[in-house]
Amino acid sequence: MIRARRARIVATLGPASRAPGMVKALAQAGADVFRLNFSHGTHEDHAAALKAVRGAEMALQRPLGVLADLQGPKLRLGKFRDGAIDVKPGHVLRLDLDPTPGDATRVQMPHPEIFSALRPGMALLIDDGRVRLRVGQGGADWAEVTVESGTRLSDRKGVAVPDCVIPVSALTPKDREDLAFALRLGVDWVALSFVQKAEDMAELKRLVAGKAACLAKIEKPQALDDLESILDYCDGVMVARGDLGVELPPEDVPVAQKQILRAARNRGVPAIVATQMLESMTSAPAPTRAEASDVANAVYEGADALMLSAETASGDYPLETVGIMSRIIERVEKDPLWPSLMDAEHAGMDEHDVDALVAAARKAAEAQATACLVVFTTLGGTARRMSRERPLQPILALTPNPDTARRLALVWGLESRLGKQPESLEMVTDDAVAGAVQYGLAQPGQRILILAGTPFGAPGAANLLRLAHAPAPRKRGR
């Protein structure tokens, strides 16, 4: 089960895909990490899905990651007396806290935190931007708005406020319950929605307390403004283009995607590109040409992983979707232009010995005889640093920690596997060579580069770069 590609695939599980047989088939087709979307489904559904992933992992003998995606706060309008109203540009409406069903003159917006942040001239986007409102006068519990575009407002449609930070926690009471449940299940990653500032991620990290890796979903313009500070608290990041595309002009979304990917790679933080990657395959057996190009462009940009949402959760062709995405990634990585793009940008070295070691390993691996790199890692830090350099050779990450192996399933180019904690330099060499040969990453006589650290088992202590060669098979005597 060694992948023929470096970029990873995240598949969302749902009614169409959470059965054990389908989960195993999705992993065989190319899924590396499975997403549990806590915006949908019950705790029982998610528990069954995680059990199916662990079963597939055991059957395939390949670590598989599980990502719990928290819903985050949902800002919505109230209800209308007749379920909806027709509007047109120039229509004036009052938003307030009164729960009485609305009409053509007013409707409830049950979020005092929004009213406290609104100022005249700000925009409100309703129903994924289908209706655009401009704020006029207002107070602590009301605002007068004018319709700028759109034709219809209906019950419980979502509200987005792109022009300011909303003073609301990214973790709702539901999220806290879901988080506690996900951590009891033993998920490997937790994704936080509605991140606006670094404090949101700091709160998540405090609650998770090292039981899982923490990932920020960048879907608010305010998060872009505070991106570097947010990354200080991130183990991973997601370019959540759905909501980001609501609050940003369409022409800004590709630029934001590149900005996030560049910043994440510079930090050695794995980055996922998500939303509408192969959306048409929710109901069609093949993607559009534009979707294939979108997937390919994310690979050319060096994304660690690409995510499928409704395509695998509720679509008609979950298995075909993963297979096609995997083939697109493989094809891009065979493009003669692709290696130069991966080599075009390298992060500056921090003041750590391991960065100098990793940079030296990348340069040494450029020799054509080098078959693969083998990294011994306890918590995954050295393996992620090696991935950040984007070497063209496979990277085998050996760890004694199952949690580390599963978390590394999200990271570009890493083939994470369980291995014993080495106790000597001889064991380091022997285990690295044996692993490279066992998984088909090195042929007899080929060079293997080994990264490890002494004292053995001490996290963050990578300080050793060794060369070894896969042994030739012994000739039998007559």
Catalytic residue among 5, 8, 24, 35: 35
Burial of 213 (0-12, 13-18, 19+ CB in 10 A): buried
For the question of residue 3 being annotated catalytic, the response is no
Catalytic residue among 51, 54, 76, 79: 76
Catalytic residue among 217, 267, 417, 447: 217
pLDDT in tens, 30-40: 999 999 999 99
CA distance readout (Å), 38 to 20, 42, 460: 19, 8, 34
What are the backbone dihedrals phi and psi of residue 270, each rounded to the nearest 5 degrees, phi first?
A: -60, 140
Percent of the chain scoring above 90 in pLDDT: 84
Banded pLDDT at 472 (limits 50, 70, 90): confident
Banded pLDDT at 183 (limits 50, 70, 90): very high
Banded pLDDT at 349 (limits 50, 70, 90): low
CA distance 176 to 350: 35
Phi-psi sector, 459: left (phi>0), alpha (psi -120 to 50), beta: beta
CA distance readout (Å), 415 to 100, 382, 395, 423: 57, 14, 6, 22
Mean pLDDT of all residues in 45-59: 98
Confirm if 433 and 470 have CB atoms less than 8 A apart. Answer: yes
Confirm if 220 and 247 have CB atoms less than 8 A apart. Answer: yes
The set of residues, in sequence order, having a beta carbon less than 8 Å from that of 112 and lying 6+ positions away, is: 97, 140, 141
Q: Across all residues in the chain, what is the average pLDDT?
A: 93
For the question of residue 370 being annotated catalytic, the response is no
Banded pLDDT at 366 (limits 50, 70, 90): confident
The pLDDT value recorded for residue 152 is 96
CA distance 314 to 40: 11
Cα within 13 Å of Cα(392), Cβ side = 20
Least-confidence region, from 134-138, 351-355, 356-360: 351-355
Mean pLDDT of all residues in 295-316: 97
The set of residues, in sequence order, having a beta carbon less than 8 Å from that of 289 and lying 6+ positions away, is: none
CA distance 417 to 63: 7
Tokens of 59: 């059957």
Banded pLDDT at 460 (limits 50, 70, 90): low
* pTM over cut 0.95: no
The pLDDT value recorded for residue 155 is 95
Mean pLDDT of all residues in 199-222: 96
pLDDT in tens, 91-131: 999 999 999 999 999 999 999 999 999 999 999 999 989 99
Burial of 306 (0-12, 13-18, 19+ CB in 10 A): buried
Sign of torsion over alpha carbons 176, 178, 181, 186: negative
Which pairing describes strands 447-453 and 462-469: parallel, antiparallel, or unpaired? antiparallel
CA distance 315 to 149: 32
Catalytic residue among 5, 24, 275, 447: 275
Confirm if 398 and 435 have CB atoms less than 8 A apart. Answer: yes
For the question of residue 334 being annotated catalytic, the response is no
| Residue with more model confidence, 219 or 459 | 219
For the question of residue 275 being annotated catalytic, the response is yes
CA distance readout (Å), 35 to 32, 69, 187, 306, 310: 10, 7, 10, 12, 11
Banded pLDDT at 351 (limits 50, 70, 90): low
